[in-house]
Amino acid sequence: MRGGLQGAGPRQLLDPLRPVTSDGAPRMDEESLRARSVQRTRWMECAQRGDREAYGALLTDVASPLLRFLRRWIADPHELEDVHQDTLMALHRARHTYDPSRPFEPWLFAIARHVAVDHLRRRASRTSREVLVEALPEPGTDTDPGSPRLEEALERLPPAQREAFEMLQLEGMSVAAAAARVGITTGALKVRAHRAYKALRTLLGG
Amino acid sequence: MADTTSPVPTASTRALIKRLQDDGVPVRRLWAPWARLGLWLIFVAMVGGAVGLSGVRPDLGARLRDPVYLLEIIALALASMLMAARTFQEAVPGYVARWAAWGLALGLVLLTVVLWFSQPMHGQVTVTQFIATGVGCAERTVLLAALPWCALLIGVRLGAPLAPARAGALAGGAAFLMAALLMRLVCPLHERLHLLVWHGLPVAGGAALSAVIGLVWLRRWRVRLPH
């Protein structure tokens, strides 16, 4: 079966959201963009061999184009940051699949599109199933005297939910960073956190 | 007017980049889809060799001179190989199948179904006989598909499938079509209902089951631990 990398034509080798000037003309000429694409391919090839400097350069170089690309899908800045970080982690986990004989950008943006669509799908699914608890209930103010306080309530949560709550609310980590620490997707981490909030509300009599 | 300014990654994103950079250990690059397809075909040939050793239908030589039978065998083989190739491509982000390739694979499967439909129907076979002769074929189809199927699923799992259910369905389709082909070299029956029910349904069921397995198992590449 013949198959090609998505958009492998010369123009599609480049970022799908190339920077443009106010009059709509490309800010960089085709030659420069092609050279940048070749440079990214080289960086990735080196990164696959364990060259951390090249890998760092590549990740830094693609971070802004990725953000620009994801902004088309996700408007909320906090969600955008989560999905951006999730995309970078997906890139990291899939880096062994990149074939340097192929253009880099179709590979990169296929991953980004997948992460963004997956995020939107999960969000839609979550929204339809759960009432999100936006604010954490205040412990110990208007609760029943017999209700446990926050520390006790946390103790009674399942370990995974407690961990999610502590990372997000007590350590102030971003969702993506917390998800990376425990090795799950941001969507799964959010579900754990929401379940923790709901359980805490019940336990604290909120 | 569209916002074309260059957004700047946040501090926590920059910290994440640093962490990923520190974790940038060497990785073993995934083989190209065509190389993995070649390996899979060698594996399938070994399974086919085992089938050959265990005994094919006695009239195989004569049957291969029948153009309809030969067409059926070729259609099954090509459809299986096309699906296997596409399965391996699914493991690499950014590959997009061309409509012509999808159309060809679907056309070959439909051609096989049409050829099975064109076989005579034996009305004098009792239900008990129908089941007794058929269950064995279905069982052997599943047994023959099992190893190539696992090999395909593992092959995809090593990559980063962005559409896990589709990758699973393709893996199941490829493996069970190959098993159906091997079964046609073994089973001497040329009866419409037998072929459609006991040779065809395992392929459809295997592909559907594989899609579910793919949805559950193949999507986990995003949460596996770094290399």
ipTM tops 0.85: no
Q: How many CB atoms lie within 10 A of CB A14?
A: 20
SS3 A3: strand
Binary contact (B97, A3; C-beta < 8 A): yes
Domains present along chain A, CATH in parentheses: 11-129 (1.10.1740.10), 150-203 (1.10.10.10)
Distance from CA of B125 to the nearest CA of A (A): 41
Residue B4 has pLDDT above 60, yes or no: no
Q: With an 8 Å Cβ cutoff, is A6 touching chain B?
A: yes
Distance from CA of A124 to the nearest CA of B (A): 18
Mean pLDDT of B68-97: 93
Does A81 or A17 have the greater pLDDT score? A81
**Where does chain A show beta strands of DSSP type E?**
3-5
Distance from CA of B38 to the nearest CA of A (A): 13
Mean pLDDT of A122-129: 75
Mean pLDDT of A106-116: 94
Among chain B residues, the shortest Cα distance to A46 is held by B26
Share of chain A above pLDDT 70, in %: 75
* CA B39 vs CA B101, B128, B145, B178: distances in Å: 21, 41, 16, 15
pLDDT per position as a tens digit, A81-100:
999 999 999 999 999 999 99
pLDDT per position as a tens digit, A149-181:
777 788 888 888 888 888 887 777 778 778 877
Residue A6's pLDDT band (cuts 50, 70, 90): very low
Task: Supply the pLDDT for residue A33.
Answer: 84
pLDDT per position as a tens digit, B150-206:
999 999 999 999 999 999 999 999 999 999 999 999 998 888 999 999 999 999 999
Mean pLDDT of B90-110: 89
Residue A109 has pLDDT above 50, yes or no: yes
> Is B172 within 8 Å of B210 (Cβ atoms)?
yes
Q: With an 8 Å Cβ cutoff, is A1 touching chain B?
A: yes
Mean pLDDT of B114-136: 87
SS3 A132: coil
Binary contact (B94, A47; C-beta < 8 A): no
Contacts of B164 in chain A (CB under 8 A): none
Closest residue to B92, CB basis, from A51, A97, A185: A97
Indicate the pTM of the whole model. 0.74
Closest residue to B162, CB basis, from A71, A96, A114: A114
Contacts of B13 in chain A (CB under 8 A): 63, 81, 84-85, 88
- Integer Cα distance of A136 and B159 in angstroms: 40
Task: Supply the pLDDT for residue A12.
Answer: 42
> Is B156 within 8 Å of B87 (Cβ atoms)?
yes
Mean pLDDT of B16-37: 93
- Integer Cα distance of B71 and A42 in angstroms: 47
Residue A105 has pLDDT above 80, yes or no: yes
Binary contact (B95, A4; C-beta < 8 A): yes
Distance from CA of A138 to the nearest CA of B (A): 28
